[in-house]
Structures are given as C-alpha cells and as structure tokens.
Amino acid sequence: MSRYLFIAPAVLFLLALLVHPVALNVVMSFQDVTAATMLTGSDWVGFENYRAAFADELFVRAAWHSAVFAGASVTVQVVLGLGLALFYAQVFPGAQVFRSLFMVAHAIPVVVSAELFRWLFAEPGWLVDTDLVLPALVGIQCWLGVPFVMVSLLAGLTAVPRVLHEAAMLDGAGAWQRFRAVTWPLLRPTLLATAVLSTIFTLKSFDLVWIATQGGPANASEILPTLAYRLVFSSFLFGKGAAILNVVFAVLFLLSVLYLRAQRREVL
C-alpha cells in the first residue's frame, strides 16, 4: 500500500492537468456551448458539433493545411537531421562546437523565433502571399525542428557498436553498404520515434502559426489548432472548437499508439 502513496502526488497531478481538461473538452464537444449558455447550462446536441465541423469548408482546408504542413516539415526535418547526424558522427576538429551551435535554434523560444522570421520575411512578402505562406511556415518549422532530429539521431548513431562497422569493413563493405546493413536496422527505432514525436510537435504547432500569420492571409495558412482557437475566442463557439480539438487529439493519440506498437514489435 505504501508504494501507491509514493506515486499518488504524480497521479493527482496528471489527473488535474491532463485527464480533467481532456475529459472536459470531450464533454463540451457534445454540447451547444456558447458565451450565452456557458453560465446558464448547455443543451446536449450529440455529434452535431462534429457534423458541423466536417461540413465546414474551412475545416476541410485547415485539415489539408495541417497534413501538408506536418508532412512536409517532418520529411525535411528527418532528411536534413539524418544527414547532419551522419556528418557530425564523424570525428573532426570542432565537431562538438558546431553540434552545439545547431541547438541554438531549438533553445530559442518559439515566440521569439516566430517574431524573428515574421520580421525577416516581411521584405519579400512571403507571409502575406497565399501561395508562399505555407512553404514559408514549413521552412520556419524545419529551422526549429532539425536540431531536435539531429541530436536524437546522433544519439542513436553513437549507440551503434563500432565493432559491427569494423567487421563489415573487413568483409569489404563500402560506406553505403555499411549504412544499409548495419546502421539503418539499428537506427530505425530511433528514427521512427523521432519522426512520430516531430509529427506530434508539428501538428500541435499553434504558437508558431498564430504569431507568424494568424492563419492568414485569406486562411491560406489556417491549421486545425488555429481554427479551433478562432472559433472559441472569436466566435465563442466552444462546442465546435472543442470538437475540432478532439479530432486533433484523436490523430495524435493514434500516432502514439502506432508508435508504441511498432516499438513493441522491434523489441519482440
């Protein structure tokens, strides 16, 4: 019994800050909650908020923008991060110093980075061009996320036993053959975990998009978190906004489950 008392504070903390808000949001998504009904009580409307969200053209556009934003960002981050990790895994003068410099972007708060890039992109007008705003945001997200991917994959590379590479070299394997036969199989679990985490971070990247563009211009960079924020705090449609956030949560939860199952198969 005493061992449960030791974890009780952590459990209560998680219940108060994680489980309770999620449960409240789920309940709200099935109610007609507006600014007028929040204090007087809201009627249950079932899945009406979800039907209204899915039928909204703006929701469809925001979902597509979220998918493109996450897919492009994570792909570029993984490719660049893997290349940089392979490069900095080599031993050469100044390698540790340059690796540390890459973490500067990850250490700067997102608010500061978003304001900095909004100022930098003001001259070419990329953030006010409906055709260029989403690629510009992908570039900013990659600048923020590549250091995390590089460091994660670099840690995975250092865990690969050097003796395996030496044995492959004695067998006459070249650099590409050693990567395909030795490095890639052992690095794949780390790469999968990093890709999933990067996808989760990108899909919920509200602060970057809101500060840089607020979903504009003409909703060209609207993603699901910014759309939900706009519905709740501008239109006061709390139920519909909660429904959209639950869709985002369901996608992230599914990604987490798939990752855990993949990790379990790797262990077995």
DSSP string, 187-223: HHHHHHHHHHHHHHHHHT-HHHHHHHTTT-STTTT--
Confidence grade of residue 76 (pLDDT, cut at 50, 70, 90): very high
Angstrom CA distances, 1 to 4, 5, 34, stand at: 6, 7, 45
Q: Kindly tell me if the per-residue pLDDT of 135 is higher than 90.
A: yes
Contacts of residue 129, Cβ cutoff 8 Å, sequence gap at least 6? 217
pLDDT average, residue stretch 173-179: 76
Q: What are φ and ψ of residue 223, in 5° steps?
A: -115, 170
Q: Kindly tell me if the per-residue pLDDT of 172 is higher than 80.
A: no
Cα distance between residue 72 and residue 253, in whole Å: 20
Contacts of residue 69, Cβ cutoff 8 Å, sequence gap at least 6? 134, 137, 138, 141, 202, 205, 209, 223
Q: What is the dihedral of CA 251, 35, 14, 267, to 10 degrees?
A: 0
Cα distance between residue 63 and residue 230, in whole Å: 15
* pLDDT value of position 267: 54
Domains and CATH numbers, the chain: 57-267 (1.10.3720.10)
Confidence grade of residue 268 (pLDDT, cut at 50, 70, 90): low
Cα distance between residue 61 and residue 155, in whole Å: 38
In percent, the amount of the chain with pLDDT more than 90 equals 22
* pLDDT value of position 158: 82
Q: Report the mean per-residue pLDDT for the chain.
A: 83
Q: Kindly tell me if the per-residue pLDDT of 41 is higher than 70.
A: no
Confidence grade of residue 91 (pLDDT, cut at 50, 70, 90): confident
Confidence grade of residue 182 (pLDDT, cut at 50, 70, 90): confident
pTM over 0.75: yes
* pLDDT value of position 238: 86
Radius of gyration of the chain (CA): 22
Task: Name the residue among 67, 26, 107 with its Cα closest to residue 255.
Answer: 67
For residues 31 and 1, which has the higher predicted lDDT (pLDDT)?
A: 31
pLDDT average, residue stretch 201-227: 90
Q: Kindly tell me if the per-residue pLDDT of 82 is higher than 80.
A: yes
